Amino acid sequence: MAVILLILALVVVLLTAALATYLVARARSQADEQVADAVRRLAEGMHDTMRELAATPEPPPAERRPSRFTGELAASLDLDEVAERTLEEVSGIAGIDAVVLEAAAPNGELSATIGFEADDAAAAIVSLPRNDNLRAVEVTYRYRIETVDAASPAVRSGVVLPVRADGAEVGTLSAFTRTSGKPLDDAAIDELERLAFRAGPALDNARRFAEARSLADLDALTGLHNHRYFHETLSREVARAHRYRRSLALLVLDLDDFKLVNDRIGHLGGDGVLAELASRVRTVVRTSDVACRVGGDEFGVIMLEAGRDDAEGLGARIAAAIAGRPVGKAGTIGASTGVAELQPEETAVELFERADAALYRSKERSKAARTAVDGA
């Protein structure tokens, strides 16, 4: 078992090193030191985890399940997958009826549950006090007799443990039982503590990877999603829209005479203009819209659950936001937009080409914040 675990550790280390080399090279070529630094930290974290895993002695027969669990976690860099495997492993402990895992995530906090409805989980969760010496907190739930009788499936007791990585708390693991008068015993709490200890580094590494991937998906200048992310997301959402028969619209926009802006105030000043106008785009789009910098001074917005009329309206609002007030020495900037709605059997490339063709028709007609629609 130890040999197999060591082989797995070495394989994951090699894969991680290759991934780190690729992403760092791409980050350098894009002059994005943030991505490079995030990837370096990810590689270091994965190597530390593998060294710890390889150094772990062979456990006695009764404890081999957590060791297999450790190997599975170390092989994954997907935050949701690590959380799911942790929940499955914890739910297999005798006496546990429901589990909640909360952990730090790139865009807030991950909250995963098993054995709970969402509202019930939120009501049962107990926050841990800040204490580096804390091992676990045991909780007993008492109800009014007229509200919860002995046969009710309500939670009766639980235990909450900190999940740590490199000595820092990265989340909490909560396990609950619905059996009245029978709290989790010491053996169950010991196993929970072992699982939390193993899950901590895996969750932290998955979070770091997600952060590095998120940075790699962003355009460093504007903070919008980049060209690669735009086309990957458009392909995925077109396929999903066809599968579930949902509407999808695409808006592309281009700044009018932006080359003249660069000639007048320089490329550095032009970069500042792009950053400012991108921030204005963000204030207008919906939370469900995916705004991207497609390239140069061209932007795209993927609009989920939207049609042509929605895209036309958004195009007018974006153009108005861009031209609404001057941008420093560049003065007032105009924008032209083109929109297209997804048609049956249409590919992502075809949708983009139709929207782009509409954009160029708009620029030919007028450079006064006009929106053109495919076929119009």
Catalytic residue list: 297
Pull the structure tokens for residue 374. Answer: 């495919």
d(CA 214, CA 180): 45
Of 77, 72, 109, 103, nearest in space to 174 by CA: 103
Q: How far apart are CA 259 and CA 266, in angstroms?
A: 10
Contact criterion met (CB below 8 Å) for 195 and 86: yes
**Residue 8 in 3-state DSSP?**
helix
56, 58, 46, 125: which is closest to 82 by C-alpha? 46
Q: Are 86 and 101 in contact (CB under 8 A)?
A: yes
Give the contacts of 333 (CB within 8 A, at least 6 positions apart).
255, 256, 258, 261, 273, 277, 322, 323, 327
Residue 148 to residue 171: CA distance in whole angstroms:
31
**Residue 87, phi then psi, degrees to nearest 5:** -60, -45
Look up residue 371 and give its two tokens. Answer: 């929106």
CB distance 53 to 71 below 8 Å:
yes
3-state class of 253 per DSSP?
A: strand
